[in-house]
Amino acid sequence: MTDQENAPEVLPELSVSATRLNRAKLEKVPWNHSGKHPGSRFFGGLLNLMFEFGNAAIFRRSENDPLPPVDGGVIYVATHINGLVDPMVIMRIQKKRVISLGRHDLITRPFIGWWSRRFGAQPVLRRAEIEAGVVDAEFAKHINERGMLTAASCLAAGHSAVIMPEGKSHQDSRLHALRTGSPRAALAAAAIAEERNLPPPVIQTVGLHWKTHYWFRTDSYVEFGEAIEIPSVYSASDRALLASGTWVEPPREDTINLRQKMFDTLSPLTPDSPDWPTYRALKLIANMEANNSDKPLQKLSEEVHSTRDVRAGMNDTQGSQLLDEATEAAEILHQNDLYANAISPSNELRGMSNNDRLRGILGTLLMIVTSPIAIPANIILSSIAKYMAEEGDEGLDSRTTYFLLAGMFSPLLFWLPLVFLSLLLLQGTALSPSDIIPGLIGLFIIMDLTYIFLLGYDFWNDFTTARRRVKLSRSEDGEKLNLLLKSINSHLGALK
């Protein structure tokens, strides 16, 4: 495990959007230091509903641990490799209202920014923007302190916050160095809660897991780890200032100590591996071990915890040799767009089964039958998402972000207009309150057909995955893979 001091600390490469500073909009972002949430309750509820649509669109299966009970506010912290998907999967399972901190341009963009501001999101101006000359340090300090005090006040009042403490999105398989913003906001929140005699907030570590995070229709798993108590470090006079709406910096040593505690607690919930090939190798070993015990891994959550056990045991020489072979085998699979579950219960490369063929036929039929409704209702935003994912400069994590946004906004921007247009054409008259029930029925029909279409896509994808397995098995790489799997299996037997 890497500690905070030795963790990668690389400033993010700024996208074009991140270099566009809109000072006027940043000044007008709603904020509140009394503890009242600055967002609209209506739009917050609507956004949560849209999260459900987006989540159902981009994930085939979603799991999450039970939400830990807590009386006061909660700061959820996680690593950040999957763009806007990361906060979404945490926010959608919340019971409390969420206050969020996000990159400044996500709050000021013409469309996404409008929603972010109504949700109550607070902008952050990072050191990367300051050093690149996008913003001066004084204005950044003003905006950041205003936002952190808003978040701290909301947390003290019992709301929750989702913060990515690395301060950026990246594509590494281990936690980057944490910024000081989240521990500073946490310490301030605890002080305000103490001053107002409210239940203290806690920091809740979160593990965000995916089969392959940038694949469309992958699986997701939200894991809740250890909660961290926030110490009381402010003097009585400083607590009073914070509670009155004046930002006061916490003692630096306490900030650094809390940041280190966050890093140490959060790191094990990440892949925490030198690189992605190593992590894919650990997942392959976990799957093969489960096959040998006649308990194949069925859920992503099972795989995550089994992989963590494998990672903890990779210390001796024999384990090192095993990891080398598993890395080579896993990379052959990955280069052919295959996952560790391409291995059969006998720990050989799967072939094509009759079930795979039936899925291909059924998937094709489902997509054909539902396409007259599902495609017109979703094709425009899905096409834009595909273009932006492939042509944008936001990085690999933008792939799922753009498809998430398409899944979230298609119901609002295209399903509703399609229903209204259909009712107008059928009736030939203006719409009236009596059309609400038929309109709702129409929306449910579009929703059901869209998700049946996606189910058909999943079945078809199972068939094409089987075809890739067959193609690989007939190649030199396939022969090499099976030899590696046989050797790995023998090592696993020797380690028992």
Tell me how many degrees the CA angle 343-349-353 measures, rounded to the nearest 5: 90
Note the pLDDT tens digit of each residue in 231-289: 999 999 999 999 999 999 999 999 999 999 999 999 999 999 999 999 999 999 999 99
pTM over 0.85: yes
- Identify whether 336 is part of a domain: yes
Tokens of 42: 């209506």
- Statement: residue 410 has pLDDT above 80: yes
- Statement: residue 7 has pLDDT above 60: yes
**Mean predicted lDDT score pLDDT of the chain:** 90
Domain end position, chosen among 269, 304, 326: 269
Verify that 293 and 209 share a domain, yes or no. Answer: no
pLDDT at residue 395, as a whole number: 64
pLDDT at residue 437, as a whole number: 85
- Residue % of the chain over a pLDDT of 90: 67
Q: How many CB atoms lie within 10 A of CB 467?
A: 12
pLDDT at residue 351, as a whole number: 93
- Identify whether 306 is part of a domain: yes
Note the pLDDT tens digit of each residue in 334-391: 999 999 999 999 999 999 999 999 999 999 999 999 999 999 999 999 999 888 877 7
Verify that 263 and 388 share a domain, yes or no. Answer: no
Alpha carbon distance 102, 125 (integer Å): 9
Domain end position, chosen among 204, 238, 269: 269
Verify that 71 and 196 share a domain, yes or no. Answer: yes
- Statement: residue 8 has pLDDT above 70: no
Verify that 431 and 464 share a domain, yes or no. Answer: yes
- Identify whether 484 is part of a domain: no
- Identify whether 490 is part of a domain: no
Alpha carbon distance 228, 186 (integer Å): 10
Verify that 248 and 292 share a domain, yes or no. Answer: no
- Identify whether 494 is part of a domain: no
Verify that 245 and 297 share a domain, yes or no. Answer: no
Q: Tell me which residue range forms the domain holding 221.
A: 4-269
Alpha carbon distance 143, 139 (integer Å): 6
pLDDT at residue 481, as a whole number: 96
- Identify whether 481 is part of a domain: no
Alpha carbon distance 120, 96 (integer Å): 14
- Identify whether 171 is part of a domain: yes
Domain end position, chosen among 313, 347, 381: 347
Number of folded domains that form the chain: 3
pLDDT band at 151 (very low <50, low <70, confident <90, very high): very high
pLDDT band at 495 (very low <50, low <70, confident <90, very high): low
Verify that 197 and 255 share a domain, yes or no. Answer: yes
pLDDT band at 33 (very low <50, low <70, confident <90, very high): very high
Verify that 98 and 119 share a domain, yes or no. Answer: yes
Verify that 340 and 401 share a domain, yes or no. Answer: no
- Identify whether 383 is part of a domain: yes
Verify that 363 and 334 share a domain, yes or no. Answer: no
Tokens of 267: 């790191």
Verify that 326 and 243 share a domain, yes or no. Answer: no
Verify that 216 and 289 share a domain, yes or no. Answer: no
Alpha carbon distance 234, 207 (integer Å): 30
